[in-house]
Structure 1
Amino acid sequence: MKTGIVILAAGDSSRLGSPKQLLGIRDTTLLNHTVAVAAGLKEAALALVLGAFADQLLPRIAVSRAIIVHNNGWEEGIASSIRTGLAVLTDYLPGLDAVIFMVCDQPFVTTELLEHLVDAATCNDKGMVVSRYAGAHGVPALFKSKYFEDLRNLQGDTGGGQLFARYAGDLLFVDFDNGDIDIDTPQDYDKLQAR
């Protein structure tokens, strides 16, 4: 299965007050942790979508194999970053079978989880393979190519969750321990540091 990964890292971290992408975690930053996890899926093409803090983030990115793209429309919301990342990957790798979308503020994401998403998609005919955590589901999430057009039509500050609701019968879930832990506020980061 020809797979791509899009890391959505274009937001302005408005609730945090500073670039969450640069917060420290286990001797690295949240962004570099996420990029390293994605790069661990060696057979996947990787796109990193930057926006609000691109000038600050670019010099600090540790993995060079990612296609780095600047989303000039990042203020529109996450849908513009989804469209931007998908466009880059489908241009770079025609015939792409699936794309995994992930964010950079989930400190417990692992390459193993991404491998589980791909394995589940390969062994199943469901069109979306979605992470499940704490009674909810979301990213990282894999979308097979039959949903690329729906992803291209997303608007505003809503992501793939619209498709989860619209095509609920075409979902497969993979458990993601601690997937509900993300960093949106200073309090979230303090809780993470206290763990």
Structure 2
Amino acid sequence: MKILIKGAGDLATGIASRLYGAGHQIMMTDIAVPLTVRRLVAFSRAVYEGEAVVEDMTARLAKNQEEAEEIMEQGDIPVIVDPKAECIQWFQPDVIVDAILAKRNLGTKITDAPFVIGVGPGFTAGEDCNCVVETKRGHTLGNVIWDGSAIPNTGVPGNVGGYSIERLIKASADGVIEPKAVIGDLVRKGQIVAITGGEPVYALMDGIVRGMLQPGVQVTKGLKIGDIDARAKQEHCRTISDKARAIGGGVLDAVCSYEKSRGKYALILLAAGQSVRFGSDKLKAVVEGEAMYESAISRFEAFQGFKSYVVTGKEEITLSAESAGCTVVCNKEPEKGISLSVKLGLTKAIEDADENGTPLRGVLFSVCDQPRLKKSTIQRIINTAFHNPGKIVCAGEGTRNGNPVLWDKRFFDKLLELDGDIGGKKILKENLDSLKIVPVQAGELQDIDRKEDLGTA
């Protein structure tokens, strides 16, 4: 797959190493003046040196699309100065990995690519990305988070060799940096290791200089400009760290999960109901500033790697669905009940998959009247279905199970036999031994059936 990594620092390079080793096509972006401390093991060095070799990989600076494509054709990794990642428009990546590690999201959206990964604090799975990879040292380092966020930044560096804050070399004043020690030098506590803005910077511990900014860079007082490692091993200065490899492993897990499941499931939104109990068209009812049908369609926009369908007979919903890239399946007879919408959507999804030569493993049905349903819930249902072939996977809250429901292909024939205003509940009850439940947060499955329900949504 084509993968864009935003950022080219040492941790981003560790991520690139795992993905490159798995055979993916990688491109990376960075700022015009990178501030990577561990620059000997970072592809950001290519920005000011033209080329960077890290272990068995080579990255080269690309000034435009043509140069980037040529570098990739030669089996290397292009690094392009593109802080806003405008190259997304022409690169059209399958996956975006935001590894800028700014401790906050600088503009990445879940709709920027078919699959988006946020690395570290500042991202929330199901909101601005499909998943998050933990970056904090410790038991959960490298974990893939499918619902929620990484551990917040504490401002305290992790413990390495028995030292934490002492490891850091920080600028003593605003100005240009003049290193007095180079990466690989052994230094003693109290030794001058750099000059910033004319002021000396002292080592706070004994050890080896594992990282130091390049000479001549403009820095500000308090900025991290280097680090010291008490373990004092030369090879650590020139090889990818254990932390970077662990984070890279988490990203690779997430990428593999997406790669194996993409295109194998269809998402179908049922939006043709008559809203009898509501008294008017409830799908147009506004919850938190957005019509329910609009929020339901926007949830599907986060899953570009899967074909999405909206079954409706309403013009307004049709226009919204089409603008979001969904295929509209027309149901002009909603009075025949939900079974007709199920059959129309499923039939179209099966036909499209057969035509494309990629038979479906399953189909997920969702409804419009669950305004609190999270994108991350849909993602977790898909993940669960992939790892549990032959099962029915649905969302569950306490003793209640409900939509969305993902049906394995072995239930397609039974779904196509439904009749009247009966959905798949009957089939589900007859196959409880095949049911897998994905737990969700309280209130997430609330249906808006009557106008009074709007007060609690």
What TM-score do the two structures reach when normalised by structure 1? 0.91
Shift of 1:110: 1.6
CA contact (8 A) 1:6 1:49 kept: yes
Answer yes or no: is 1:69 the counterpart of 2:324. no
Q: Distance in 1 between matches of 2:303 and 2:319?
A: 23
5+ long unaligned stretches in structure 2 = 1-260
CA contact (8 A) 1:41 1:114 kept: no
CA contact (8 A) 2:311 2:341 kept: yes
What one-letter code is carried by the residue in structure 2 that aligns with 1:170?
Answer: S
Paired residue for 2:297, among 35, 38, 61? 35
Partner of 2:317: 57
Shift of 1:113: 0.5
Partner of 2:393: 129
Q: Distance in 2 between matches of 1:13 and 1:126?
A: 33
Q: Matched residue of 2:404: which SS?
A: strand
Q: Matched residue of 1:102: which SS?
A: strand
Structure 1 residues 41-98: Cα deviation after superposition (integer angstroms, max 9, x where no partner): 22111110113xx134334557431111111232111111000110111111221111
Q: Matched residue of 1:93: which SS?
A: helix
Q: Matched residue of 1:173: which SS?
A: strand
Structure 1 residues 160-185: Cα deviation after superposition (integer angstroms, max 9, x where no partner): 11111111100000012223311111
Q: Distance in 2 between matches of 1:19 and 1:161?
A: 24
Q: Matched residue of 2:311: which SS?
A: strand
CA contact (8 A) 1:7 1:102 kept: yes
Answer yes or no: is 1:158 the counterpart of 2:431. no
User: Which deviates more, 56-65 or 8-17?
Assistant: 56-65
Partner of 1:108: 372
Partner of 2:449: 184
Answer yes or no: is 1:119 the counterpart of 2:379. no
Partner of 2:268: 6
Q: Matched residue of 1:12: which SS?
A: coil
Higher helix proportion (structure 1 or 2):
1
What one-letter code is carried by the residue in structure 1 that aligns with 2:405?
Answer: A
Paired residue for 2:278, among 16, 27, 38? 16
Q: Distance in 2 between matches of 1:108 and 1:99?
A: 21
CA contact (8 A) 2:266 2:364 kept: yes
Q: How many aligned positions are there?
A: 190
Q: Matched residue of 1:157: which SS?
A: coil
Structure 1 residues 97-132: Cα deviation after superposition (integer angstroms, max 9, x where no partner): 110001000011121111100111111234200111
What TM-score do the two structures reach when normalised by structure 2? 0.40
Structure 1 residues 11-31: Cα deviation after superposition (integer angstroms, max 9, x where no partner): 111111111111112332111
Higher RCO (C-alpha under 8 Å, 6+ residues apart):
1
Q: What is the root-mean-square deviation of aligned Cα atoms in Å?
A: 1.6
CA contact (8 A) 1:127 1:147 kept: no
* Greater C-alpha radius of gyration: 2
Q: Distance in 2 between matches of 1:147 and 1:11?
A: 23
Q: Matched residue of 2:372: which SS?
A: coil
CA contact (8 A) 1:49 1:71 kept: yes
Partner of 2:432: 168
Paired residue for 1:149, among 410, 413, 416? 413
What one-letter code is carried by the residue in structure 1 that aligns with 2:304?
Answer: K
Report percent identity of matched pairs.
25
5+ long unaligned stretches in structure 1 = none
